[in-house]
Amino acid sequence: MNYPPGFAIAIDGPVGVGKSTVARKLAQMLQLTYIDSGAMYRAVALYNMRAGAAATDEAAIVASLTHIDIRLTPDSVIYLNGENVSVDIRNQVLAEYTSTIAVYAGVRAALTAQQKALAAATPVVMDGRDIGSQVLPHAPVKIYLDAKPEIRAERRYRELISKGQKANRAQVLAETHTRDHRDKTREHAPLVQAEGAIYVDASHMNAEETVAYIRNLIEE
C-alpha cells in the first residue's frame, strides 16, 4: 500500500512496554520510516552526561541544544554530532538521566519540532510518550500501548540481563513506578492516552503478536 506524505502511526505508552520494538517491526512490515523519538531524548542526555552537566541543571541542558545535531537513519541508527551512538544510549543510568531532562519545556519544544519535520517529509511510525497527544495529534492512526507495571519491569529486567548488565528485579520495578509517575504528572506533555487513540493491552502478548494485533486494527 502506498501511503501519502504526512501519513503517520503514532504509538505512545509507558516505559518498558515495548513501544520501540513494536513500532520498528510494524514500520518494517508496512514499509514505513521508523522514528524512535525516545532515542532523540537519549542522545541529548548522552551529550550532557558526557559534558558533566547535572540532569537537574535545566538551563545548561536547554543551552546545550545549540551544540547538538541528531540524525536518524531508516535502519534505526542514531548519530550524535556525526557519531554513531546507537549502543551508547541504551543503558539504565542514561535512562534515568533522560527521564529527568525530558520534562524540560525547552528540550521538548526543540525535539518536537524535529519530529514534526521528519513526519512531514515521509510516512512514519513514531513512538514515544506524547506522539499522539502533542507531536502528531492529527495522525490517522494513534495507539496507546500499555501493560501491567510488574510485567513491564520483568521484561526490562530480562533485557538488561541479556545484555550483560547488572540488574535487580525490585529496583527495576521501583524505577518503573517512578518513571510512570514522572511521565504522567510532568507539567509539559504528560503521558496520556491521546484523543482518538486505540488502547492496546500487551500484558499477555509478545512483540510479534502485538504487531499483528495492531496491523489488524489498522486494516479493519
The whole-angstrom separation of Cα 73 and Cα 4 is 20
Q: Evaluate whether residue 166 is within a structural domain.
A: yes
Instruction: Report residue 200: phi and psi, to 5°.
Output: -125, 120
100: left (phi over 0), alpha (psi -120 to 50) or beta: alpha
Averages of pLDDT over runs of 10 residues in the chain (220 residues) are 85 94 94 93 97 97 97 88 95 87 94 95 93 95 97 92 89 93 89 96 96 89
Specify if 192 maps to a domain: yes
- Is residue 104 domain-resident? yes
Q: What is the pTM of this model?
A: 0.89
Tell me if 220 is assigned to some domain: no
54 found inside a domain: yes
Whichever domain contains 74, its CATH number is: 3.40.50.300
C-alpha–C-alpha distance, residues 70 and 41, integer Å: 10
Range of the domain at 112: 8-215
Instruction: Give me the number of domains the chain comprises.
Output: 1
1 lies in some domain? no
